[in-house]
Structure 1
C-alpha cells in the first residue's frame, strides 16, 4: 500500500511537471518549424529560417519593442517606489501603515479585469488618451505591490544596528544607505525587479483595457491566432525564455559570490 502511494505521488508529480513544461517545449520546438501556410500550428519541416530573420514581420518587431520599453520603464519606477515603501513600512511606525499594507495587497487579490476596467474608467474621466503612458501607469500600479512585498521580506531580517554602527563612525545618512543598507538588500531588489519586468512583459488583460491603439507583444500574439501565426512568434518567445534563464543564472551566481565574500570578510583572522 505504501509503495502504491509512492508510485501515485510520483505519477502526479510527473503529470504536473509535464503540464508545466510541455507547452514550453512545444513553443521552442515550433520555433524551428517551416509551416506550409500562415499558421505555425502543424509541424512540416525543420528550418532555421525564422531564427535567421526573427523580425521579418514589422508589426511583430514593433510590438516587442513596445513591450520591452513599457517593461523597462515600469520596472524602473516600480522598483524605486516599491523599495522605499518597503523600507518605510519596515523601519518606521506611523499612522496609516496598516492602510498602506492593505493597499499593497489589494492589486494582488483583485481580478485583473476589475483593475483594467477601473483604470480605463479613470483615464476616460480624466480625458486621458490611452496609449504608451496609460500602459506604463497601469503596469506600475500592480508592479509596485510585488516589489514592495518582495523587498520587505528581505528587509525583515536586516540588522539595523549596522546602520547605527556606521553612523557612529561618522557616515552620513546617504553614505550609510549606499554603503551599508543597499548592498545587503540588493538581492531582494534584484529579485523584485526581475519579477516586475516579467509580469509587465507578460501582462495581457490590464494592457488590453488601457492600450488604446498600441499593440504590445501579448496583444499581437492574441490577434495573430486569427490572421497569421508565423514561427517568428515562437522564436521571440524562446529568446525571452533563454534571456530569463541566463538572467536568473547570473543572479544566483552573483548572490553566491556575494555570500562567499561576506563570509570571508566575517571570518576571524589568524
Structure 2
C-alpha cells in the first residue's frame, strides 16, 4: 500500500508514526508545502512543494501508484483540500480528510465570529486597540490597511513578509504554548483583543483561556468547509482505522 499524507500538522506526523509502527510494510509519503524552512519531518518518505493544482496532483497519484490519500493539512488550507478532492475524483483514489475538531466557546468567552480575515479586520476598530494577531505570517495582508490607531502583536514561526500593518511588533515562537506563557504575553503587551483562526487542537488553545480570564474579546475566523462527499475523521487513530479497514 502507498499512502500519500498531505501534511504540515501534528496530526499528519502522528499518522505517519502510527503507520510506521503498525503497518511497517506500507509505503508512506508525506507532502509538505515548503512554507517553513525547518519543518519537523515525519517517518517515511518526504516531498516538499506544490503539485501544480488538482491536475498535477492527479498525475502524481497515477505516476506513484498511490492507493489512498489522507489530507491532514491545516484546517484553513482550503485550496489544497479542494485540489485533493478533485484529484481523487479524477483518479478514483480514496480520499480521507483528517481534521482536528474546532474550538467551541464556553461560559465567560466573548467571541466575535468572522467569515474571513477581511471581516475579522473590519471588526477590530470597535473591539480594541492593541491586537494579538495569531493567524500566521501568510495572512497579514488583510490587516495591512488597518487604522493607524491599531497596534498589532504578530506571532509566527518565521518572520512575516509585507504587506502587514504599519504598527506591528513580531513575536517569533512555535507552539505548543502554555497558559502561563499566554497570560504573560497578554499582560506584557497590554493586549485588549485577540484574533485567531478556528484551528482547533490543544497546542494553541491556551490563548483562548487566557483571553477569557482577562475578559478580552476574541475574533474567531471560521474555517472553510470540507468539500461535499469527502469522508472526515477527527484524529490520526481514526485515520489509521480507515486505512486498514479496521
Please give the TM-score of this superposition, normalised by the length of structure 2: 0.22
Q: Which is higher, the Rg of structure 1 or of structure 2?
A: 1
By relative contact order (CA 8 Å, sep 6+), the higher-ranking structure is 1
